[in-house]
Amino acid sequence: QSALTQPRSVSGSPGQSVTISCTGTSSDVGGYNYVSWYQQHPGKAPKLMIYDVNKRPSGVPDRFSGSKSGNTASLTISGLQAEDEADYYCCSYAGSYTLVFGGGTKLTVL
């Protein structure tokens, strides 16, 4: 399986919105509604932020939202805060009981 494609970096000022894309194929992102997003701060384990394309686990602020169109999923963070600065990874079911991650996106809050 090939890694899903994410932009290497995005940035935004506090209070602004940013969107991170995650592009796959019809065999993964486009074929299933099993896309999740993870936030990872340096030296820490990843944290689940979005699952099943657009659902938020309890405790995750509603500033985080997810969507999907065709083979591309997106994570939008509105009302950016300093603590949102982190690496973000998408993950998709890829069929045959396998999963695949995106390459990761570094979010910088200016």
Whether 35 and 91 have beta carbons less than 8 Å apart is answered as yes
Choosing from 46, 56, 64, 107, the residue that interacts with other proteins (CB under 8 A) is: 46
Tokens (6 digits) for 42:
């340096």
Q: Closer to other proteins at the Cβ: 19 or 60?
A: 60
Task: Tell me if 98 contacts other proteins by CB under 8 A.
Answer: yes
Q: How many residues bind other proteins (CB under 8 A)?
A: 27
Residue 13: CB minimum distance to other proteins, A: 26
- Work out the angle at residue 104's Cα, subtended by the Cα atoms of residues 101 and 107, and round it to the nearest 5 degrees: 145
Half-sphere exposure of residue 86, counting CA atoms within 13 Å on the CB side? Answer: 21
- Please give the residue ranges that form the binding site for other proteins (CB under 8 A): 1, 3, 32, 34, 36, 38, 40, 45-46, 48, 51-52, 57, 87, 89, 91-93, 96-104
